[in-house]
Structure 1
């Protein structure tokens, strides 16, 4: 696909068995704000983001990713993407039309190659948001989403061919081969990354903090609250962003980050980083070692929602 019609990452929607507990964690500990509520749904916004919400929670018997949502600039772009996907044999879940979610807009849904539900939309009303002040240790925006894939090469090819994603960097290991693809849709180093895993699932969702001080304050605040830390604090080499990974109440991995690299499209060339070099995973050398425990937590549970669209 020659035209880059997707503009940005909008939100990630997660289903969990205990909505109240998950909502309390995201609003009381993680730093999001409940912007809308509808029976068994909670729409959570980041105070610094114009998006109506960056996380949607839904109560369901089993944990799953409900969908990952991306934005487009115009109705014509949404229609063009839907038409190209349908022509290429990609299954549309919902034809382009008016959205019934907060902020309205116009969009459609489809399954990706492994059965995740993806939404593309435009024209969603801008939420009243604010500048995050110095020292505030709450997320500014949703930074990126990383998915586990049993076929990372095929998943990368799907997002490049059908959605116009571009490869920023590759993470590799001498014994395993290529283990992660960092994919971009704008000047941010990555909005989506695809990790090699035993099954499709959520690897982690990452939230951008105001700066280094706020990132460290947030990391410390969660540690003091007794939230289980998986990995960090440290700074990755691909993307040059900081990282602190924690587990939410349902075993999903969430990240505080900041200073994700902004790249120049005209001069950027993808790098292949050797993950066996400790500085690649953590330039500072401050994080705990990446070991089997961290890896197992990142694999998460197999997603129960593949090729099954969420009910709302």
Structure 2
């Protein structure tokens, strides 16, 4: 196991045209808590997470992924990573400095190989959080983010070389080839995954629930509200986690999950799962069949924010 400078996933920031509708969905239906709001920005926390916020929404004329944020252990680690990336020719969006967003901290931003804006930060103030109670069907924390890439091998190599992510498992199909690579930055099976898609975009954002009962209650709440469920409820083979995928008001795929596998990194060896075998997609056999139309739902729109830093 390597000594990584990145420790965990912090938050995912989205820009949307219909800000009010998106805010209403994520707060009243999905179960996040607004903790700060100003000038077309809202910061949304998960009640069980010490992170200041797990989703940031920003009002913009165009839908885009603003950035993905990861934590580092210290200011020294932030500086070391920025120096490493700069020396390797990775384009920095900003140099390490005090952050002006909720919770403050010290960090910097850069473009990954596909043009996404990535933020790494340390010393962000811990938010007062609480234990999620039995039957309370709201997210405990942000679980993972999955991104689409036309060249998953290139994207994988970038995150392995520059950020010390490690491959946990892969999904393949006999005719389509490699479909997804599950990448970790800590013992959690994946904090990020890279899906093969026709263009660079956000595939889905996943939120951890307290347990199976809360996961199912949350899934039911969304279904009763008429929210479009893309796929689920079921249980994956890779990661051994549950899944219910929905579409938010702007067509981003978001997931309720629970019980994502924790690995012994020193002993772990990646597996390759053939998804033409139904049990490798859904161990339970309860989800709707995974076919081409389901897969296309998570291709999402072409991201208009590539190699363009968000304004805040």
**Category of TM-score, reference length = shorter chain:** over 0.9
Counterparts in 2 of 1:210-249, with a 5 A limit?
210-249=210-249
Distance, in Å, in 2 between the alignment partners of 1:3 and 1:26 is 35
Structure 2 equivalent of residue 295 of structure 1:
295
Please state whether the residue corresponding to 1:189 is helix, strand or coil. coil
> After superposition, what is the alpha-carbon deviation per residue over 1:101-154, rounded to whole angstroms, capped at 9, x for unaligned?
011000000000010000000000000100000000000000000000011100
Structure 2 equivalent of residue 160 of structure 1:
160
Distance, in Å, in 1 between the alignment partners of 2:157 and 2:3 is 16
Distance, in Å, in 1 between the alignment partners of 2:72 and 2:38 is 26
Shift, 1:227, TM fit = 0.5
Distance, in Å, in 2 between the alignment partners of 1:244 and 1:209 is 11
Number of corresponding residues: 312
Please state whether the residue corresponding to 1:21 is helix, strand or coil. helix
Structure 2 equivalent of residue 13 of structure 1:
13
Structure 2 equivalent of residue 57 of structure 1:
57
Please state whether the residue corresponding to 1:287 is helix, strand or coil. coil
Distance, in Å, in 1 between the alignment partners of 2:230 and 2:184 is 25
Please state whether the residue corresponding to 2:69 is helix, strand or coil. strand
Distance, in Å, in 2 between the alignment partners of 1:157 and 1:38 is 38
Gaps of at least 5 residues in structure 1 are none
Counterparts in 2 of 1:69-108, with a 5 A limit?
69-108=69-108
Mapped pair 1:140 → 2:117: no
> After superposition, what is the alpha-carbon deviation per residue over 1:18-62, rounded to whole angstroms, capped at 9, x for unaligned?
111000000010000001101110000000000000000000011
Mapped pair 1:306 → 2:306: yes
Shift, 1:292, TM fit = 2.0
Shift, 1:89, TM fit = 0.2
Structure 2 equivalent of residue 258 of structure 1:
258
> After superposition, what is the alpha-carbon deviation per residue over 1:261-292, rounded to whole angstroms, capped at 9, x for unaligned?
00001110000000111001100000001122
> After superposition, what is the alpha-carbon deviation per residue over 1:161-195, rounded to whole angstroms, capped at 9, x for unaligned?
00000100011111111111000000100000000
Gaps of at least 5 residues in structure 2 are none
Distance, in Å, in 2 between the alignment partners of 1:3 and 1:257 is 28
Structure 2 equivalent of residue 195 of structure 1:
195
Mapped pair 1:269 → 2:274: no
Distance, in Å, in 2 between the alignment partners of 1:50 and 1:135 is 21
Distance, in Å, in 2 between the alignment partners of 1:204 and 1:263 is 22
Structure 1 equivalent of residue 3 of structure 2:
3
Please state whether the residue corresponding to 1:245 is helix, strand or coil. strand
Q: What RMSD over aligned residues (CA atoms) do the two structures have, in Å?
A: 0.9
Distance, in Å, in 2 between the alignment partners of 1:185 and 1:275 is 24
